[in-house]
Protein backbone atom coordinates (compact mmCIF):
# COMPACT_ATOMS: atom_id res chain seq x y z
CA UNK A 1 0.00 0.00 0.00
CA UNK A 2 1.39 3.41 -1.01
CA UNK A 3 0.96 5.79 1.91
CA UNK A 4 2.74 8.72 0.19
CA UNK A 5 -0.50 9.94 -1.46
CA UNK A 6 -2.28 9.81 1.89
CA UNK A 7 0.57 11.65 3.58
CA UNK A 8 0.57 14.32 0.85
CA UNK A 9 -3.19 14.81 1.19
CA UNK A 10 -2.83 14.96 4.96
CA UNK A 11 -0.13 17.64 4.73
CA UNK A 12 -2.43 19.71 2.52
CA UNK A 13 -5.20 19.52 5.12
CA UNK A 14 -2.76 20.38 7.88
CA UNK A 15 -1.63 23.40 5.88
CA UNK A 16 -5.20 24.67 5.74
CA UNK A 17 -5.77 24.36 9.46
CA UNK A 18 -2.39 25.63 10.66
CA UNK A 19 -2.76 28.96 8.92
CA UNK A 20 -3.62 31.51 11.58
CA UNK A 21 -5.80 33.44 9.13
CA UNK A 22 -6.21 33.62 5.36
CA UNK A 23 -7.85 36.55 3.63
CA UNK A 24 -8.78 37.31 0.08
CA UNK A 25 -10.34 40.70 0.92
CA UNK A 26 -8.54 43.90 -0.02
CA UNK A 27 -6.35 45.54 2.59
CA UNK A 28 -8.11 48.20 4.68
CA UNK A 29 -6.86 51.72 5.22
CA UNK A 30 -5.05 52.67 8.44
CA UNK A 31 -8.08 54.51 9.86
CA UNK A 32 -10.27 51.39 9.83
CA UNK A 33 -7.43 49.30 11.23
CA UNK A 34 -6.91 51.76 14.08
CA UNK A 35 -10.62 51.55 15.01
CA UNK A 36 -10.37 47.76 15.39
CA UNK A 37 -6.98 47.53 17.05
CA UNK A 38 -8.10 47.98 20.68
CA UNK A 39 -10.26 44.86 20.33
CA UNK A 40 -7.71 42.62 18.61
CA UNK A 41 -4.39 43.86 20.01
CA UNK A 42 -2.68 41.40 22.31
CA UNK A 43 -2.27 37.65 22.69
CA UNK A 44 -5.11 35.23 21.97
CA UNK A 45 -5.23 31.52 22.90
CA UNK A 46 -7.07 29.80 20.03
CA UNK A 47 -8.37 26.24 19.67
CA UNK A 48 -10.00 24.37 16.80
CA UNK A 49 -11.04 20.84 15.94
CA UNK A 50 -11.30 19.99 12.28
CA UNK A 51 -14.91 19.55 11.22
CA UNK A 52 -13.78 17.40 8.29
CA UNK A 53 -11.35 15.20 10.21
CA UNK A 54 -12.36 14.25 13.73
CA UNK A 55 -8.83 13.42 14.80
CA UNK A 56 -7.25 16.80 13.96
CA UNK A 57 -6.82 19.37 16.72
CA UNK A 58 -5.16 22.78 16.65
CA UNK A 59 -4.12 24.78 19.68
CA UNK A 60 -2.03 27.90 19.64
CA UNK A 61 -1.48 31.54 20.34
CA UNK A 62 -1.44 34.56 18.09
CA UNK A 63 -0.31 38.05 19.04
CA UNK A 64 -1.69 41.02 17.10
CA UNK A 65 0.59 44.03 17.44
CA UNK A 66 -0.23 47.75 17.10
CA UNK A 67 2.19 48.09 14.17
CA UNK A 68 -0.01 45.79 12.03
CA UNK A 69 2.15 42.68 12.41
CA UNK A 70 1.43 39.37 14.12
CA UNK A 71 3.27 36.30 15.37
CA UNK A 72 1.80 32.91 16.18
CA UNK A 73 2.58 29.39 17.35
CA UNK A 74 0.16 26.52 16.67
CA UNK A 75 0.48 22.94 17.88
CA UNK A 76 -1.20 20.58 15.44
CA UNK A 77 -2.07 16.96 16.19
CA UNK A 78 -3.41 14.73 13.45
CA UNK A 79 -4.05 11.00 13.35
CA UNK A 80 -4.81 9.14 10.15
CA UNK A 81 -7.81 6.88 10.90
CA UNK A 82 -6.89 4.23 8.33
CA UNK A 83 -3.21 4.00 9.31
CA UNK A 84 -1.31 3.97 12.61
CA UNK A 85 0.21 7.36 11.82
CA UNK A 86 0.24 10.46 14.00
CA UNK A 87 1.58 13.84 12.92
CA UNK A 88 2.59 16.40 15.55
CA UNK A 89 3.85 19.81 14.47
CA UNK A 90 4.63 23.13 16.08
CA UNK A 91 4.09 25.81 13.43
CA UNK A 92 5.38 29.35 13.99
CA UNK A 93 4.43 32.24 11.73
CA UNK A 94 4.83 35.97 11.27
CA UNK A 95 2.99 38.35 8.99
CA UNK A 96 0.83 41.44 8.66
CA UNK A 97 -2.83 41.97 9.62
CA UNK A 98 -5.72 44.36 9.06
CA UNK A 99 -9.32 44.22 10.25
CA UNK A 100 -12.52 46.20 9.90
CA UNK A 101 -14.00 44.53 12.99
CA UNK A 102 -15.96 41.96 10.97
CA UNK A 103 -13.24 40.62 8.65
CA UNK A 104 -9.63 39.90 9.53
CA UNK A 105 -6.98 39.60 6.84
CA UNK A 106 -3.50 38.25 7.40
CA UNK A 107 -0.93 38.59 4.62
CA UNK A 108 2.77 38.12 3.87
CA UNK A 109 2.76 35.10 6.20
CA UNK A 110 6.09 33.33 6.72
CA UNK A 111 6.17 29.91 8.41
CA UNK A 112 8.53 27.54 10.10
CA UNK A 113 7.46 24.08 11.23
CA UNK A 114 9.02 21.70 13.71
CA UNK A 115 8.10 18.02 13.82
CA UNK A 116 7.34 16.87 17.35
CA UNK A 117 7.69 13.14 16.69
CA UNK A 118 9.98 11.06 14.43
CA UNK A 119 7.54 10.88 11.50
CA UNK A 120 6.65 14.56 11.66
CA UNK A 121 10.30 15.65 11.64
CA UNK A 122 10.58 14.13 8.13
CA UNK A 123 7.63 16.15 6.85
CA UNK A 124 7.99 19.48 8.71
CA UNK A 125 9.63 21.41 5.85
CA UNK A 126 7.16 20.02 3.31
CA UNK A 127 4.25 20.94 5.55
CA UNK A 128 5.47 24.52 6.07
CA UNK A 129 5.93 24.96 2.31
CA UNK A 130 2.25 24.05 1.73
CA UNK A 131 0.83 26.72 4.05
CA UNK A 132 -0.90 29.74 2.49
CA UNK A 133 0.74 33.17 2.52
CA UNK A 134 -2.56 34.89 3.32
CA UNK A 135 -5.72 34.05 5.24
CA UNK A 136 -9.24 35.47 5.64
CA UNK A 137 -11.59 35.16 8.62
CA UNK A 138 -15.01 36.43 9.62
CA UNK A 139 -15.03 37.63 13.23
CA UNK A 140 -17.81 37.34 15.79
CA UNK A 141 -18.04 37.47 19.57
CA UNK A 142 -19.57 35.05 22.06
CA UNK A 143 -19.28 37.03 25.29
CA UNK A 144 -15.53 37.55 25.74
CA UNK A 145 -14.63 34.77 23.29
CA UNK A 146 -13.49 35.80 19.83
CA UNK A 147 -14.83 33.38 17.21
CA UNK A 148 -12.92 33.30 13.92
CA UNK A 149 -14.45 31.47 10.96
CA UNK A 150 -12.23 30.89 7.93
CA UNK A 151 -13.37 31.14 4.35
CA UNK A 152 -13.17 27.31 4.38
CA UNK A 153 -15.47 26.91 7.39
CA UNK A 154 -12.84 26.22 10.07
CA UNK A 155 -13.92 27.73 13.41
CA UNK A 156 -11.44 28.89 16.03
CA UNK A 157 -12.46 29.93 19.53
CA UNK A 158 -10.03 32.45 21.04
CA UNK A 159 -9.64 33.85 24.57
CA UNK A 160 -7.54 36.96 25.23
CA UNK A 161 -4.44 36.38 27.38
CA UNK A 162 -2.55 38.77 29.64
CA UNK A 163 0.97 37.91 28.43
CA UNK A 164 3.12 38.90 25.46
CA UNK A 165 3.86 36.08 23.02
CA UNK A 166 6.80 37.85 21.38
CA UNK A 167 8.72 37.70 24.65
CA UNK A 168 8.53 33.89 24.63
CA UNK A 169 9.61 33.35 20.98
- Per the rule left: phi > 0, alpha: psi between -120 and 50, beta: everything else, 127 is alpha
Specify the long-range contacts of residues 137-142, CB closer than 8 Å, at least 24 apart: 137/21, 137/22, 137/23, 137/103, 137/104, 138/102, 138/103, 138/104, 139/99, 139/101, 139/102, 139/103, 139/104
Mean pLDDT of 51-63: 81
CB neighbours of residue 100 within 10 Å: 15
**Angle ∠(67,143,99) on CA atoms, nearest 5:** 25
State the sign of the Cα–Cα–Cα–Cα dihedral 42, 43, 47, 51: positive
Rounded Cα–Cα distance for residues 29 and 100 (Å): 9
Q: Which residues neighbour 55 within 8 Å (Cβ) at sequence distance 6 or greater?
A: 77, 78, 79, 80, 81
Please tell me the predicted confidence (pLDDT) of residue 21: 37
**CB of 136 within 8 A of CB of 25?**
yes
Q: At what angle do helices 118-129 and 4-18 cross, to 10 degrees?
A: 60
Give the pLDDT confidence of 97-151 residue by residue, as tens digits.
Answer: 999 989 999 999 999 999 999 999 999 999 899 999 999 999 998 888 999 999 9
Give the residue with greater pLDDT, 82 vs 166.
82
Residues making up the chain, counted from first to last: 169
**Domain parsing of the chain, residue ranges:** 4-167
Mean pLDDT of 47-69: 86
Of the pLDDT bands very low, low, confident and very high (cuts 50, 70, 90), residue 16 is: very low
Rounded Cα–Cα distance for residues 125 and 159 (Å): 30
Please tell me the predicted confidence (pLDDT) of residue 8: 46
Tell me, which fold does domain 4-167 have in CATH? Answer: Lipocalin (2.40.128)
Of the pLDDT bands very low, low, confident and very high (cuts 50, 70, 90), residue 1 is: very low
Amino acid sequence: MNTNNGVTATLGLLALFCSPMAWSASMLDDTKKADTQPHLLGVWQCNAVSSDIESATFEGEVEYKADGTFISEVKTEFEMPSLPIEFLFLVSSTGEWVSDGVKLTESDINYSAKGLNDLSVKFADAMASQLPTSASWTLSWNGTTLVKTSEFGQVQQCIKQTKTLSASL
